[in-house]
Amino acid sequence: MTLEEALVIERSAMERSEFWLGQMVAMAGATENHEVLCSRLSFLTQLRLGVGRCQVFGPNMKVGVVKKRGFAYPDLSIACGERKFFDDVRDLLMNPVVVFEVLSDSTRAFDGREKFLEYQKLESLRHYVLVEQRTQRVEHYERAQAGRWSYEVLRPGDLLRLVGVGIEIPVSEIYAATDIPIAEEDE
């Protein structure tokens, strides 16, 4: 199946599916913590960005990967400057600067490996942020000089710094309004 064929199906479907490396993959529902974390991330990023050159997109905006290999629905994405879309429908963003995924048991491995490997190929992407919902733990990948990626684990008391986007978010604010336990240091 081509990307164009997948988009025709997805745009008329009643339920969402991601298109990944030639396969349509149905998306499951979300837990309360997942929804609260997504809402918190959206609120906190929009609050800090205000109105300006960057735009926050929620979980209904598709993000494409290079060479038309697929698209996914990240939990949150941010694009800065001129936004590029696959076509005139403007529902498949091709140049995110930041992608957030809230991890679940069913998506943890896929989001942390396969998706990240494909997202890395997007020249625009500078930050890939994985937000755990079992414990208060955030993994932050940042594209550094010469395309190399740095990695850090953040916990309450730490700041998620999105360099180039110009915002900092305390990890404790992401997890406010949840009953998610604080992560152990060795996790």
Matching residue, tokens 């929804």: 35
Rounded to two decimals, what is the model's pTM? 0.88
Chosen CATH of 31-174 out of 3.90.1570.10, 3.30.70.360, 2.60.40.10, 1.10.10.10: 3.90.1570.10
The pair phi, psi for residue 183, each rounded to 5°, is -70, 145
Q: Is residue 187 over pLDDT 70?
A: no
User: Using one digit for the tens of pLDDT, what is the confidence trace for 100-136?
Assistant: 999 888 778 777 778 888 888 899 999 999 999 999 9
User: Using one digit for the tens of pLDDT, what is the confidence trace for 138-165?
Assistant: 999 999 877 899 999 999 999 999 998 9
Tell me the domain boundaries of the chain: 31-174
CA distances in angstroms from 97 to 9, 79, 140, listed in the order given: 27, 5, 13
Q: How would you classify the pairing of strands 159-162 and 62-64? A: unpaired
What number of other Cβ atoms are within 10 A of residue 108's Cβ?
Answer: 15
Cross-strand bridge partners of residue 56 = 78
Q: How would you classify the pairing of strands 17-20 and 23-26? A: antiparallel
